[in-house]
Structure 1
Amino acid sequence: MPQNTSPLPTPHSGYHWNRIPRRFFEGWYYRVTLPEIGQTFAFMYSIEDPQGGQPTSGGVAQILGIDDEYLCRTFPDPNRFWAAPDRLALGHWRQSGKPQLLDPQAFDRTISEGYQATETWHQGRLKEPNGNFAEWQYAIAPVYGWGDRQSTAGLLSSLQIFEPGWQILMAHGHATGYINWNDKNYEFVNAPAYSEKNWGGAFPSKWFWLNCNAFDNEPDLALTAGGGRRGVLWWTESVAMVGIHYRGQFYEFVPWNAEVNWVIRPWGYWRMDARNRQYRVTVTGTTDLPGTPLRAPTIDGMQFVCRDTMRGNVTVELWDQAERLIVRATSDLCGLETGGAPWDETWASGCGLNF
């Protein structure tokens, strides 16, 4: 049966660093989509080796903005990063002083460059030396967390067995506020919003991702799907999942309850088919756009090892066990990504149970 959903906080919302000196990163992803203009803003924050003193120590803030344009700033001092261990709250800036959550007006008045984010608020400003600039402030009203407040990767997310951990924090929500992108202001009310995070001591060697909650004529539909080759203790495995929130229900296809298959080209085509005992889903993503290279954590620090577009095409089709169509929906505002290596040929594989 589909699972009831709840807007309450998801697991793993807090900061995972346990202060043990080892290779470590944590990353957060916030996104707002503006369907009326066909654009999306994706904000990516990361902290690496927060104990300091390492070549990789420090933070990075990246934004994928209008027409997949890219803005990036580094924050080399990890001591000016903060995050709450028990809830979703984080920030990083250049100013001296105690890093902590500030009143929005105080942040606006005193922080010349940086960001702060929680489950219900997100603001910041960044400026590159070439003059590219972004400033944003918006409130977030969560609609769907992830299932009934569950871990995206199941029980294993709670144990340091595989790396990295991955958690969808908010599969769907509504954002109200503004984003100024290179001196053009975009105001929005109840725009589709999304957030996720990952953490650990390693990144998958190869991965793919699809995400959309701005479907044509289906305002209560949210898709997150992806897969990768990850480390588990002393071996590696290829895993993938599809998660759909639709009209108050959660449809989950993961290796321990479903069969998941995928065919992913190095760029331009994503196809996933999954089934469990009650449902079947097909997800197809395509793009003719070139995508934008983004930085992601590697053993050697942040490197351009993935490619994204926020303007991909996607079709989702979900059936029940009697082959009755539950929903068929399309969008041209889907986030599509491939990352890692090698991507010199199509990746066709599968995982999970056999039905």
Structure 2
Amino acid sequence: MSIGALFNSYLYHGNSLKKRFFEGWYFKFVDKRKQKSFAVIPGVSTASSKNESHSFIQFLSGSRNESGNFIYPFDDFHSDTKRFSVEIGDNHFSTERVSLKMKDEKVKIDGEIKIIDPYLWPVRFYSPGIMGPFSFVPFMECYHGVVSMDHSLEGEVEVNGEVIDLYGGKGYIEKDWGRSFPEAWVWMQTNNFDHDGTSFMLSVATIPWLGRSFTGCLCAFLYKGELYRFATYKGAKIIRVDSSGDRIAVELRQREFTIHVDARKTSGAQLISPVQGSMSGKIDESLTSEIHLKIHEDSTLLFEGTGTNSGLEAVGKLRLKD
């Protein structure tokens, strides 16, 4: 890992010598009419042996409930050490554009997408990403980062002959890196509200810590140009989390703010996930879920609305302390 990556969560944190490591960037796209959504996930996996190490690009279609995984040699992965720019084969990913050119026996994907006015996550030397000071802890199982909370799109993507027009659409970028995904988590994201420029992301997960574990949260809300941040390390308390069915309810409190989330999970498709660096796990993600969000500041209702075309995952059973 370069020194630059230590202080900037956008950048690549691995190298060819690091074993049992994964890193992936999540790009989500929704068309202007909110009828078609898809995500691509470029990344790398360095498992216990060099023969297992590879780079990959996963593809998830929300409208079709389909997914796929394109495997590339590890050496096909290239990243810039000073700014976020990743290439895998003929594919390019950055905060300016995404270029896709993938093909296998079942799927052919070709497209050029321009990213317009991204709201990049603020990077500070003392807080290089959404995890704040926890970004510097060397033994975390999984690290999370947000790259762009919200941006507009131009361009189009062709998937097996179907053209997806993204002009005027909305996009979002985040990432994960480390060894494995948590034992249990809820993750959700949407920036498709009635009020343009509004974006919401929430993650509640079981965090291993010094031989024990706790349930922690990361949450971000972009509204009218202001970024609200909520996290366990900032004093946020998880009052409620219920992910036992298709309805997912979460309540958080942090100082004067109370966040109520009522999400409806729709059917999705399967993605592969990291287990000790090896991409051998499987999870289900929906891109067509709905998130009803209500945020109070003291007794004042700051925001209430429903986000559509939401990404949503609910894995395992989360437990809160009594």
TM-score by length of 1: 0.81
**AA partner of residue 119 (structure 2):** Y
Deviation at 1:347, TM superposition (A): 3.4
Deviation at 1:264, TM superposition (A): 3.4
Residue equivalent to 2:30: 33
Q: Please give the secondary structure, in 2, of the residue aligned with 1:156.
A: helix
- Answer whether contact 1:294 1:306 (CA < 8 A) is retained: yes
Deviation at 1:153, TM superposition (A): 0.9
Structure 2 Cα separation of the partners of residues 47 and 79 of structure 1: 10
The residue correspondences of 1:289-304 to structure 2 (distance < 5 A) are: 289-299=266-276, 301-304=278-281
Quickly say closer, same or farther: Cα 1:270–1:86, change in 2 above 3 A.
Answer: farther
- Answer whether contact 2:179 2:277 (CA < 8 A) is retained: no
Structure 2 Cα separation of the partners of residues 35 and 266 of structure 1: 32
- Answer whether contact 1:293 1:304 (CA < 8 A) is retained: no
Out of 6, 10, 15, the position equivalent to 2:12 is 15
Deviation at 1:53, TM superposition (A): 4.9
Structure 2 Cα separation of the partners of residues 268 and 35 of structure 1: 27
Post-superposition, which runs of at least 4 consecutive aligned residues in structure 1 deviate over 6 A? none
Residue equivalent to 1:240: 217
Deviation at 1:182, TM superposition (A): 1.5
Quickly say closer, same or farther: Cα 1:307–1:266, change in 2 above 3 A.
Answer: farther
Q: Please give the secondary structure, in 1, of the residue aligned with 2:52.
A: coil
TM-score by length of 2: 0.89
The residue correspondences of 1:308-319 to structure 2 (distance < 5 A) are: 308-319=285-296
Tell me how large the CA RMSD over aligned residues is.
Answer: 2.3
Structure 2 Cα separation of the partners of residues 202 and 304 of structure 1: 9
Quickly say closer, same or farther: Cα 1:78–1:20, change in 2 above 3 A.
Answer: closer
2:185 aligned with 1:211 = no
Structure 1 Cα separation of the partners of residues 76 and 134 of structure 2: 31
2:312 aligned with 1:336 = yes
**Gaps in structure 1 of 5+ consecutive residues:** 1-9, 94-110
Quickly say closer, same or farther: Cα 1:127–1:20, change in 2 above 3 A.
Answer: closer
Deviation at 1:42, TM superposition (A): 0.6
- Answer whether contact 2:21 2:277 (CA < 8 A) is retained: no
**AA partner of residue 52 (structure 2):** T
Number of paired residues? Answer: 311
Out of 29, 52, 57, the position equivalent to 2:53 is 57
The residue correspondences of 1:82-121 to structure 2 (distance < 5 A) are: 82-93=78-89, 111=90, 115-121=91-97
**AA partner of residue 240 (structure 1):** C
2:173 aligned with 1:195 = yes
- Answer whether contact 2:19 2:277 (CA < 8 A) is retained: no
**AA partner of residue 28 (structure 1):** W
Structure 2 Cα separation of the partners of residues 21 and 73 of structure 1: 22
**Gaps in structure 2 of 5+ consecutive residues:** 1-6
- Answer whether contact 2:206 2:216 (CA < 8 A) is retained: yes
Q: Please give the secondary structure, in 1, of the residue aligned with 2:156.
A: strand
Structure 1 Cα separation of the partners of residues 37 and 98 of structure 2: 15
Deviation at 1:138, TM superposition (A): 0.7
Structure 1 Cα separation of the partners of residues 273 and 10 of structure 2: 20
Deviation at 1:168, TM superposition (A): 0.5
Structure 2 Cα separation of the partners of residues 285 and 164 of structure 1: 24
Structure 2 Cα separation of the partners of residues 214 and 242 of structure 1: 17
- Answer whether contact 1:46 1:59 (CA < 8 A) is retained: yes
The CA deviation string for residues 294-344 of structure 1, in whole angstroms up to 9 with x for no partner, is 1011127213421111000110111111x11111111331111123xxx3x
Deviation at 1:279, TM superposition (A): 1.5
Structure 1 Cα separation of the partners of residues 66 and 165 of structure 2: 19
Quickly say closer, same or farther: Cα 1:283–1:230, change in 2 above 3 A.
Answer: same
